[in-house]
């Protein structure tokens, strides 16, 4: 990336003052009596130089809009749609309006949504980061723009964060399964650089090792892009007897739902032939023919904490806090407890 084009660069090329360019860029041309021809010329040069406004600086200069932005991975996912619902309720209690956007797990879409929010001059953002968005998040944090990471984080970024004890959630769930007689416990996870997924995998691995079950470790780290294909392959192998597991832990809601479809298609009997346990829960977990055991995240509390943190930042707090919350294992008929 090259040097950001500044208002001075435009002013130098047009041969006017930086203040005059600023009036035009901020919609004050009529108030400041800038000629139509000069406005046209300034915008032409801005386009020629590929000028991008510094929305963060603009937002900070112009004061509060009483608007908060929320970026989730996929608003269609019940886990994230519920987060959006609670964020809307919580921000309303502080007199703020929430606006929403989905990254669709894409860094380019994430950047587009962030720029849209900043263009609308939101006072702060709550972010569920996607892969490849570390630099965008870091830029917000370095510029002291009110930002809270929710559910996911980056180890290298010292930002306000609210999330689950993901390591402990996986570790405790697997240990619980072992105590109920399971040994051949597997896990399906996404290949990911994000901390929440890494910690879930590490919790599973450590629980297996702590219970002397290293020989039964069965970890499938799959790509989100080929999710359905890889899930289908896993369950085809299970039916054929190639995968010797008696229980599968699904690392998130997306993997769980894709697995439910394959289990139904392959007519795998739950829990007689295979026990299953997932993260997050949702309607699909409730309406599966045998309601599914799952690791429940305290979403309401996570959102309340993240909104509180963000409002504190908007009001001038510079304190960095990281709140880690405990999960709850919801026991249903998909495991033989």
* DSSP string covering 259-297: HHHHHHHHT--TTTT-EEEEES--HHHHHSSS--EEEE-
Q: Cα separation of 188 and 322, whole Å?
A: 27
**Cα(190)–Cα(221) distance, rounded to whole angstroms?**
5
Shared domain for 183 and 292, answered yes or no, is yes
pLDDT, tens only, 229-283: 999 999 999 999 888 899 999 999 999 999 999 999 999 999 999 999 999 877 7
Per-residue model confidence (pLDDT) at position 6: 87
Whether residues 127 and 179 share a domain: the answer is no
Range of the domain at 218: 166-297
Task: Choose among 266, 250, 258, 257: nearest CA to 286.
Answer: 257
Neighbours of 227 (CB within 10 A): 17
**What is the pLDDT at residue 289?**
76
In terms of domains, do 170 and 285 share one? yes
Q: Are 263 and 276 in contact (CB under 8 A)?
A: yes
Q: Which residues pair with 275 in a beta bridge?
A: 247
Res 189: pLDDT = 97
Q: Nearest CA to 150 among 167, 162, 136? A: 162
Same domain, 28 and 150: no
Ranges of residues in the chain whose predicted pLDDT is under 50: 1
Rg of the chain over Cα atoms, rounded to whole angstroms, equals 24
Residue 52 is predicted with a pLDDT of 75
What's 72's domain CATH number? 3.40.50.2300
Same domain, 181 and 292: yes
Residue 249 and residue 294: Cα distance in Å, rounded?
9
Predicted pLDDT of residue 155: 85
What pTM does this model have? 0.78
**Which pLDDT score is estimated for 236?**
94
Specify whether 217 is located in the same domain as 155.
no
* Residue appearing with tokens 């996929």: 74
On whether both 228 and 255 belong to a single domain, the answer is yes
Residues 170 and 291 in one domain: yes
Query: Domain boundary at 52, 67, 85, which?
Result: 52
Same domain, 65 and 18: no
Q: In whole angstroms, what is the distance from residue 113 CA to residue 61 CA? A: 21
Q: How far apart are CA 194 and CA 174, in angstroms?
A: 21
């Amino acid at each position: 990336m090259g040097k950001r084009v500044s208002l001075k660069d435009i002013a130098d090329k047009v041969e006017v003052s930086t203040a005059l360019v600023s009036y035009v860029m901020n919609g004050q041309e009529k108030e400041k009596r800038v000629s139509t021809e000069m406005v046209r010329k300034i915008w032409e040069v801005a386009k020629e130089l590929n000028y991008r406004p510094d929305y963060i600086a603009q937002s900070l200069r112009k004061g509060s809009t009483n608007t908060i932005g929320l970026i989730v991975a996929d608003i269609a996912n019940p886990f994230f749609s519920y987060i959006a619902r609670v964020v809307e309720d919580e921000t309303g209690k502080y007199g703020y309006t929430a606006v929403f956007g989905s990254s669709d797990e894409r860094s380019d879409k994430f950047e587009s949504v962030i720029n849209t929010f900043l263009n609308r001059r939101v006072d702060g953002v709550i972010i569920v980061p996607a892969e490849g968005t570390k630099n965008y998040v870091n830029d917000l944090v370095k510029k002291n723009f009110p930002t809270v990471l929710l559910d996911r984080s980056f180890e290298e970024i010292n930002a306000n964060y609210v999330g689950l004890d993901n390591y402990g959630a996986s570790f405790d769930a697997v240990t619980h399964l072992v105590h109920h007689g399971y040994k051949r416990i597997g896990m399906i996870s996404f290949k990911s650089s994000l901390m929440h997924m890494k910690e879930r995998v590490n919790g599973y691995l450590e629980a297996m090792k702590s219970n002397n079950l290293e020989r039964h470790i069965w970890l499938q780290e799959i790509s989100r892009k080929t999710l359905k294909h890889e899930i289908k392959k896993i369950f085809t192998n299970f039916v054929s007897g190639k995968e010797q597991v008696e229980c599968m832990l699904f690392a998130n809601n997306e993997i769980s739902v894709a697995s439910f479809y394959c289990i139904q298609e392959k007519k795998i009997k739950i829990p007689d032939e295979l026990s299953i346990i997932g993260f997050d829960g949702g309607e699909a977990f409730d309406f599966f023919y045998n309601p599914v055991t799952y690791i429940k995240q305290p979403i309401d509390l996570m959102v309340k904490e993240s909104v509180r943190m963000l409002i504190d930042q908007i009001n001038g707090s510079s304190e960095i806090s990281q709140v880690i919350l405990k999960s709850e294992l919801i026991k249903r008929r998909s495991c033989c407890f």
